[in-house]
């Protein structure tokens, strides 16, 4: 096996990195995940993840984790309503979807980020995850790399795998290809204890998802099992809108005042989002990498997930493609089809770029449709065609 006696460092402990670590560990590889979080108990922000049969679920099945997934996913959380700006429900699939339909290519079971992370962490040996390890730089060392972390520690690896997200610090060691702005900026909001702090919205979401659209804007809600309501506000903007807006997005009052003006023709009940101080906010300009990106493979360094192919979230593909990367890289590294690491990594990267280019193109089309002037009708038509 190419990995015999090789030390492998995975930079970043998100779903893709942890899944890859689990897969490689089960083959006896010498693998460690270096994660910047202090420990496993750091709160996981963001909406729920819907895993797809041919990517995310396939990777978990290969990793021997489907039973754990079925214990932790949230039946019914994939049920969805579409509303207009006045909160009128114009589409509801809640009565049509079975709560469990594993094996159906269209079934996309939802799991909260925290439980998914927990089950992955629990499947990896304790000594194979190194916490409080925020990557700062790395330098060539022999045939591998010496990796430095913000806490002053260093580590050697024969193979480094970047899994450190959309703002990867490792990617620059592979390529200087820069991301492209999608034309959409989003603001993510998490309202904790939402049944108390945003009761009308919590009831409307009803433990599932809400897509509220009109006027080239979107409000995407999802409920989490811990009682959090997550919202992604999306709108068409210039690439420098955040910098020129003058809004302090860490200040709930400023964001609330902006929202009240930006969404002044929408039902005022949407303002319930800002009635509590128990909220978390962050802006997220939506970028993607060029569809034709490629680079020269290296014998001791590669990348997976958003580090390799970031894209907007409107097609639900980010985590699924990261898990697909983990599975495909694992299969390549543990096969006997390649004479050396560079050939194996080159094969993987070419395959990954081809797959994710197609997915990115579809995602961009959906992102544009979601923020079209006729976005509400376009989304209704889309789901009616799917059904």
* 119 closest CA partner among 71, 162, 53, 77: 71
- Candidates 330, 16, 336; CA nearest to 159 is 330
CA pair distance 380, 377, nearest whole angstrom? 5
Does the annotation place 43 within a ligand binding site? Answer: yes
User: What tokens were used for 85?
Assistant: 């700006």
248 is in an annotated binding site: no
Judge whether 306 is annotated as a binding position. Answer: yes
DSSP result, 162-184: E---TT-SSGGGT--PPPEEEEE
Torsion angles phi and psi, residue 145, rounded to 5: -140, 145
Hey, CA dihedral for 107, 113, 46, 95, is it positive or negative? positive
Task: Give the whole-angstrom CA distance, residue 138 versus residue 154.
Answer: 9
Report d(CA 324, CA 68) in Å as an integer.
19
Eight-state DSSP code of residue 272: G
| Annotation: binding site for NADPH | 43
| Annotation: binding site | 43, 50, 113, 306
| Annotation: binding site for FAD | 50, 113, 306
């Amino acid at each position: 096996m190419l990995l015999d006696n090789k030390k492998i460092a995975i930079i970043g402990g998100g779903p893709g990195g942890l899944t890859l670590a689990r897969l490689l560990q089960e083959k006896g590889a010498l693998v460690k995940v270096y994660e910047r979080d202090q420990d496993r108990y750091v709160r996981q922000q963001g909406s729920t993840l819907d895993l797809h049969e041919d990517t995310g679920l396939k990777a978990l099945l290969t990793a021997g984790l489907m039973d754990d997934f079925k214990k932790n996913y949230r039946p019914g959380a994939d049920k969805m309503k579409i509303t207009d700006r006045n909160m009128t429900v114009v589409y509801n699939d809640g009565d049509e979807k079975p709560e469990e339909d594993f094996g159906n290519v269209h079934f996309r079971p939802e799991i909260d980020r925290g439980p998914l992370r927990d089950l992955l962490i629990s499947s990896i040996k304790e000594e194979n995850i190194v916490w409080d390890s925020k990557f700062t730089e790395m330098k060539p060392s022999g045939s591998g790399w010496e990796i430095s972390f913000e806490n002053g520690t260093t580590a050697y690896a024969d193979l480094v795998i970047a899994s450190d997200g959309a703002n990867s610090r490792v990617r620059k060691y592979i390529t200087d290809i820069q991301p492209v702005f999608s034309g959409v900026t989003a603001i993510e909001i998490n309202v904790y204890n939402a049944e108390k702090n945003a009761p009308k919205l919590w009831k409307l979401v009803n433990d599932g998802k809400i897509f509220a659209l009109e006027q080239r804007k979107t409000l995407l809600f999802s409920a989490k099992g811990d009682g959090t309501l997550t919202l992604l506000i999306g709108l068409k903007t210039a690439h420098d809108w955040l910098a020129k807006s003058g809004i302090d997005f860490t200040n709930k009052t400023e964001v609330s005042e902006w929202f009240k003006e930006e969404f002044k023709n929408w039902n005022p009940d949407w303002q319930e989002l800002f009635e509590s101080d128990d909220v978390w906010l962050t802006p997220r300009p939506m970028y993607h990498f060029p569809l034709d990106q490629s680079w020269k493979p290296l014998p001791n360094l590669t990348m997976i997930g958003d580090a390799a192919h970031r894209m907007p979230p409107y097609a639900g593909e980010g985590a699924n493609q990261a898990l697909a990367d983990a599975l495909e890289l694992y299969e390549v590294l543990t096969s006997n089809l390649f004479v050396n690491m560079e050939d194996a990594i080159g094969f993987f990267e070419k395959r990954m770029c081809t797959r994710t280019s197609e997915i990115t193109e579809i995602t961009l089309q959906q992102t544009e449709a979601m923020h079209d002037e006729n976005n509400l009708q376009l989304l209704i038509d889309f789901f009616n065609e799917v059904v």
